[in-house]
Amino acid sequence: MEISICSFSFHRLLASGQQDIFQYIRDCSMLGCTRLDPWNAHLSTIEQGADVLHAGANPGESQHLSPTDDAYLEEVKRAAGEAGLPFGCIAVDGAHIYEATEEARLRNRERAYRWIAVAAKLGASQIRIDTGGPEQWTEEQFEITVEGYRDVIARAKEAGLEVVVENHWGPTLHPANVVRLMEELPELGLLLDSWNWAHGKQADGWLSCAKYAKVTHVKTFHFTADGQELTQNVPAFCRLLKDNGYDGVWGVESVPGQESEIEAARKTIELIKRSVG
């Protein structure tokens, strides 16, 4: 069974200076992961912890997440190799496809190109690039988004990477928009998050989008004393994915309230393992 932890699960540790990308690698090894799925803040030059918290709460306003230099990335790759953990999906904020002006779209596109180069340098297999844009597309906005993805998909393919989109914010909060994008762009993969849906759309999201999943974020927030998740039915989500033939990595994205982020990730892994069987 393949297990990963999206490093957003440790964003408070990162913001407080208690974890960096090297500690993330060590923590993933300690928790029994089989691959690394860093959020790009863990690979960025961070001046203030508040920058991490702002990016986490505002993915559409996270263009300040800039990748570190190539020498640093070589150190990161070496540390991952020593831990025996390959890089899987790099979750990128700040390089989304749609912006209202062409100038802003081009700036984001350059960021996407740079993060594609970073992901390739680390030997990752996937990179998440968000759609951006309002919750409901106009036809023009949809066409701009599709053309933008075609461009980054071609660039990523040359680098040996699969581009995935996540139901994360903006139009992808609505299952019908995710399905439309998947059908229009067969080469675009889906990072299926169990939680990130518009109000009342979770069941529809699970049922209509499970068949497209190439990678997952299993969200957890609050646990009972015996390790069950109080917010959503994680075992049902896992069973649905299995019923739809999912054979990818089971990715953790735990977002605890006041609980230790390390312990929340551990409990999520245990819950997934019980659910998948």
Where are the domains positioned within the chain? Answer: 3-276
pLDDT at position 224 is: 94
CA distances from 21 to 17, 27, 152 (A): 11, 10, 25
pLDDT tens-digit series, residues 210-265: 999 999 999 999 999 999 999 999 999 999 999 999 999 999 999 998 889 999 99
Q: What is the mean pLDDT of residues 44-56?
A: 87
- Rounded Cα–Cα distance for residues 276 and 103 (Å): 45
H or E element, residue 253: strand 250-254
pLDDT, one tens digit per residue, over 126-160 is 999 999 999 999 999 999 999 999 999 999 999 99
Could you give the angle at which helices 139-158 and 102-122 cross, rounded to 10 degrees?
Answer: 30
Does pLDDT of 47 surpass 80? no
| Dist. CA 132–CA 60, nearest whole Å | 7
Q: What is the pLDDT of residues 151-190, one digit of tens each?
A: 999 999 999 999 999 999 999 999 999 999 999 999 999 9
Got the DSSP string for 127-144? Answer: EEE---S-SS--HHHHHH
Q: What superfamily does domain 3-276 belong to in CATH?
A: Divalent-metal-dependent TIM barrel enzymes (3.20.20.150)
Residues sharing a CB contact under 8 Å with residue 90, sequence separation 6 or more, in sequence order: 37, 38, 40, 43, 115, 118, 119, 122, 124, 126, 127, 128
**What residues have CB less than 8 Å from 230, skipping those under 6 apart?**
221, 222, 223, 224
The CA distance from 74 to 92, in Å, is: 19
Task: Using pLDDT thresholds of 50, 70 and 90, give the confidence band for residue 58.
Answer: very high
Closest CA to 93 of 126, 47, 131, 49: 131
Write out pLDDT tens, residues 97-114.
999 999 999 999 999 999
User: Where is 213: in which H helix or E strand?
Assistant: strand 213-220
- The structure's pTM equals 0.96
Instruction: Round to whole Å and give the CA distance between 63 and 7.
Output: 18
Buried b (16+ CB within 10 A) or exposed e, 83-97: bebbbbbbbbbbbbb
Half-sphere exposure of 180 (CA within 13 A, CB side): 15
Q: In whole numbers, what is the pLDDT of the chain averaged over residues?
A: 96
Would the pLDDT of 69 be above 80? yes
Q: What is the pLDDT of residue 19?
A: 97
> How far from 99 is each of 14, 137, 173, 246, CA to CA, in Å?
28, 12, 17, 33
Average pLDDT estimate for 38-66: 90
Compute the average pLDDT of residues 19-40: 98
Mean pLDDT in residue range 66-83: 96
Confidence of residue 277 (pLDDT cuts 50, 70, 90): confident
- Taking the C-alpha atoms of residue 31 and residue 4, their distance in angstroms, rounded to an integer, is 9
Q: What is the mean pLDDT of the segment spanning 40-46?
A: 92
Q: Look at residue 33 in the predicted model and tell me its pLDDT.
A: 98
Element (DSSP H or E) covering residue 3: strand 3-5
Please say if the pLDDT value at position 202 is more than 80: yes
Contact (CB, 8 A) for 192 and 212? yes
